[in-house]
Homo-oligomer: A and B are copies of this chain.
Amino acid sequence: MRSADLPEVRSIHLFQDMEEATFDAILKAAYFQTFPDHVDLIQEGDPADFLYVVVEGCVELFATSNDRETTMAMVPPIGTFILAATLKDAAYLMSARTCQRSRILMIPSEDIRAALKKDKAFAAAIIWELASCYRAVVKEHKSLKLRTGVERLANRLLRYHNDQGRNGSLLLPHDKRTLASLLGMAPENLSRAFNTLKPFGVKVDGARIHLDNLPALETLAKPNALIDDRTI
């Protein structure tokens, strides 16, 4: 892999506390590859041979059943995916595809499992990461069960707005089809949900969204730290 990426990979939570020797061993076993846009990386049901790290680009995790498909999560750099399947040596529950040209680090699952047995700090980091992933899905699940589509969109906009500096405007990080699927609605309904939010100061200009009446939007959204705050 490019040596310039090394410190970045090392700096993510999962790897930062591990011993130098463990990190070296893992990197030695790993593959580093660049994929074009829209390439399938893994398919749900397949055995979890690798842990994936997105170094550049972006990866969509999605799931399928009954000819229906839904986006489960988007993984930006530097992020890992399907840690749980890797650790349990089980089948992937989600499929993954690139949604941009992406540089991906692939670490054989058995090397991950070997490393965590040897390296206490790595085991601790994995526990932390798994607990965080678990809580993230629980929050998603709560959102879907407790909120309407419009409310989910409103809160998602507030989240992006926070992430991007709270300056009254935000850029959607994914295209609207993907956002719709992520929020659990049809693309058409996302359009309509944006219209519903217009009286609450939400102006849409392509991927650029302006929030002109934050108090009104927050009144409608009723954001809840135990759903929307990803830091807890």
**Residues from chain B with Cβ under 8 Å of A222 in the complex:** 65-66
Given A91-B226, A91-B232, the answer on whether A65 and B142 have CB atoms closer than 8 Å is yes
> What is the total number of residues of chain A having a CB less than 8 Å from a CB of chain B?
51
How far in angstroms is the closest Cβ of chain B from A196? 16
How far in angstroms is the closest Cβ of chain B from A37? 25
A145 CB–B CB distance under 8 Å: yes
Q: Does B145 lie within 8 Å of A144, measured CB to CB?
A: yes
A128 CB–B CB distance under 8 Å: yes
How far in angstroms is the closest Cβ of chain B from A223? 10
A227 CB–B CB distance under 8 Å: yes
Q: Does A93 lie within 8 Å of B135, measured CB to CB?
A: yes
Per DSSP, are chain A's interface residues mostly helix, strand or loop, or mixed? helix
**Residues from chain B with Cβ under 8 Å of A135 in the complex:** 84-85, 88, 90, 93
Partner of A84, one of B68, B83, B131, B140: B131
A100 CB–B CB distance under 8 Å: no
Q: Does A146 lie within 8 Å of B68, measured CB to CB?
A: yes
Known: A66-B146, A137-B137. 8 other contacts (CB 8 A): A63-B146, A66-B147, A72-B138, A87-B127, A88-B131, A117-B124, A137-B138, A137-B141
Residues of chain A touching chain B, judged by Cβ–Cβ distance below 8 Å, are: 44-45, 63-66, 68-70, 72, 83-85, 87-88, 90-91, 93-94, 116-117, 120, 123-124, 126-128, 130-135, 137-142, 144-147, 151, 184, 222, 224-227, 232
